[in-house]
Amino acid sequence: MRQYNGLIMHKTALLLAATAALSIANSAPVLAQPAAMALTQPATTEDVRLTAFLDAEFAQDLKFRPQLATRLGIKDGADKLDDISDAAQLQRIEARRASVARMKAMFDRRKLSSRGQTNFDIWETELRRAELQYKFRRFQPPFYSFLYSVHAQLPDFLINTHTVSDAADMRAYNARLRAIPAVLDTAIEQSKLADAAGVHAPRFQIERVIAGATTLTTGAPFDAGKDSPLWADAKAKLAKLQAAGKMSQAEADVLLAETRASLLAMKPGYARVIAWAQAELPTAPSGKVGAISLPGGAEWYAAALNINTTLGLSAPQIHQIGLNELKRIEGEQDKLAKAAGFADHNAFYADRANRFAPQPWTDALREDYLRRANAIVAHNRTLLASRFNQLPQYRAEVVREPSFSEVAGGAAHAAPPSPDGVRPGRVYVHLQGKTPDPALLPDLMCHEGIPGHVMAGDIQVRQQGTPRFRLVGGYVAFNEGWALYGEQLCKEMGAYADTADDFMHLDQEHFRAARLVVDTGIHALGWTEQQAVDFMTGTGRLSPDQARSEVRRYITLPGQATGYKIGMLTIMELRRKAEAALGARFDVKAFDDLIISDGSQPLPVLETRVAEWIAGRK
């Protein structure tokens, strides 16, 4: 593993040296890398002034992003949705350009502490990321993503992020329902522009948009069927207010009538989405649909890899790292299998498949799965004190994916708590299709829950003395690298109860290595969807449903899946370097606190922070 990590670290060093020469116009743009932060260096007066400046600038930025404001617990703009038009995107970028220019005019970077310089540089880096996203916006039309298609993201936001604590919140909820059609119409316009540029959503995604839009507008109050997802959510939110004594029945009835009218007004917007999607079906592409098949797709994929890994690794390099890691991990699995009395990892898998054959989900199985998942997260929380000083403070829960976005084999995902803790950290799981091996669940909860995404999000949103913009968003390679590293931490903390849990932990690391091969295979080597599915069911050992779902995610979100293993490899290499440099003085508890304590950041920043930490402990 060190050989592959060494390649990553070497590329990181080259990136830091070359940052000043980078330009947005480069065919393979690399994001400017912020300076490192020294945790032990006190904030200067200039740091305090910069934080105040950045908080004021971020407050202005939030006026363009009312949905992000809601996520942060801010009520301003709670009755509005984000404007996703090209004009609005450009307006926001122009505002950020002016903000960065003001920052450079008002602050001498040399007078800031290392931490202040980090915040200074990340504010500028976020501009460069926005510039890249805008430059390649035609490759990311609103209905394109398997995970983040706007038709599902809007109701998901209302159900899971827009909290309702009083009548005003519910009126804002209803206003947002009425605002959905305008956003959907803008999304259709943007999708047509992408079509004109030669970027067409794959047939499977068009079919999914039709199915999801139909689910959202079927049932009460649209017809005599069972409650539709948003109607059920609105009723539940109002019932909770009544139960808490915050609202009378009469008040609730008035607001629910308003919700009904708002949903009925929303339906024509989804009808237009369905009509657009049905018109796209006859020419929607299938088979070879990666970035390499699109006009300018190679340049887009190079940018996507840089955005998602924050490193300058090429697609062939990432592909080879994946192949090498697959071989290494299978060797580790063989050792565990032989210790358990099996010939090799293949024999261990065969035994598991014989004893835990997949079966169709039932309500009873779903209930038991959610009970077990929540129990694992709660148990993992009890193990943290021996390993961390930084501990999560807010609630965490595991829930089922909403019906309008749930698919067989769908990937679990997480959302952080709100900064005030009113909305808990959540793990969402798909419970359609067939059941997985039960030994996979502990590792999944380590990744998505604690000590993975939910814990990292909990710590990030509660940071003090940090510019507020750094409490949200982040970098895929850091976020997913931490979560994958969290799976390893669970092994070290004793969270895996037996050999099967440990083996399946390696199975999931193997799966992330396979992602490196498949993502680059699809987008740089021209693999078809079926080639990728075959690799994931064969080498990757995924079920057919999960393999299909995963591959479709990679197709519509180029580069994102590479951040996991690249991020983990970088963190593990940094830890190995610290252990070697410090010897008996190495404190793994302090190391893990260092990694998680300052929020999400580019990997080169993390590397420099660890180097400074090592130097300070010698």
Residue 42: its pLDDT value, please? 60
- Contact (Cβ atoms closer than 8 angstroms) between residue 458 and residue 380: no
Higher pLDDT, 525 or 605: 525
Q: Which amino acid is at 54?
A: L
Position 41 confidence tier, pLDDT thresholds 50, 70, 90? low
Beta strand segments in 411-498, E: 413-415, 425-429
Position 31 confidence tier, pLDDT thresholds 50, 70, 90? very low
Position 147 confidence tier, pLDDT thresholds 50, 70, 90? confident
What is the pLDDT averaged over residues 542-560?
94
What is the pLDDT averaged over residues 281-292?
95
d(CA 121, CA 51): 12
Query: What do you get for the CA distance between the two ends of the chain, in Å?
Result: 26
Beta strand segments in 421-527, E: 425-429
Asked if residue 296 has pLDDT above 50, the reply is yes
Position 153 confidence tier, pLDDT thresholds 50, 70, 90? very high
Q: Mind listing the pLDDT tens digit for each residue in 157-205?
A: 999 999 999 999 999 999 999 999 999 999 999 999 999 999 999 999 9
Q: Mind listing the pLDDT tens digit for each residue in 205-237?
A: 999 999 999 999 999 999 999 999 999 999 999
**Strands 425-429, 413-415: pairing kind:** antiparallel
Position 407 confidence tier, pLDDT thresholds 50, 70, 90? confident
| 97-101, 350-354, 410-414: least confident range | 410-414
Asked if residue 1 has pLDDT above 70, the reply is no
Q: Pick from 515, 513, 489, 495: which is nearest to 571 by CA? A: 489
Asked if residue 5 has pLDDT above 70, the reply is no
Residue 419: its pLDDT value, please? 87
Asked if residue 39 has pLDDT above 90, the reply is no
Instruction: Tell me 220's DSSP state.
Output: B
Q: Pick from 401, 440, 467, 411: which is nearest to 599 by CA? A: 467
Q: What residues contact residue 523 under an 8 Å CB cut-off, 6+ apart?
A: 290, 291, 292, 297, 301, 304, 315, 554, 558, 559
Residue 611: its pLDDT value, please? 93
| Tokens 């740089």 sit on residue | 524
d(CA 191, CA 180): 16
| 1-5, 68-72, 140-144, 543-547: least confident range | 1-5
- Contact (Cβ atoms closer than 8 angstroms) between residue 524 and residue 315: yes
| 305-309, 378-382, 495-499, 510-514: least confident range | 305-309
Residues in the chain: 618
Residue 259: its pLDDT value, please? 98
Q: Mind listing the pLDDT tens digit for each residue in 493-511?
A: 999 999 999 999 999 999 9
Residue 63: its pLDDT value, please? 94
d(CA 521, CA 517): 6
CA pseudo-torsion sign 247, 252, 254, 259: positive
* pTM of the predicted model as reported, rounded to 2 decimal places: 0.87
Q: Mind listing the pLDDT tens digit for each residue in 330-378?
A: 999 999 999 999 999 999 999 999 999 999 999 999 999 999 999 999 9
Residue 602: its pLDDT value, please? 86
Chain mean position to CA 164: 25
Asked if residue 17 has pLDDT above 70, the reply is no
Tokens of 173: 């909820």
Residue 409: its pLDDT value, please? 87
Q: Which amino acid is at 175?
A: A
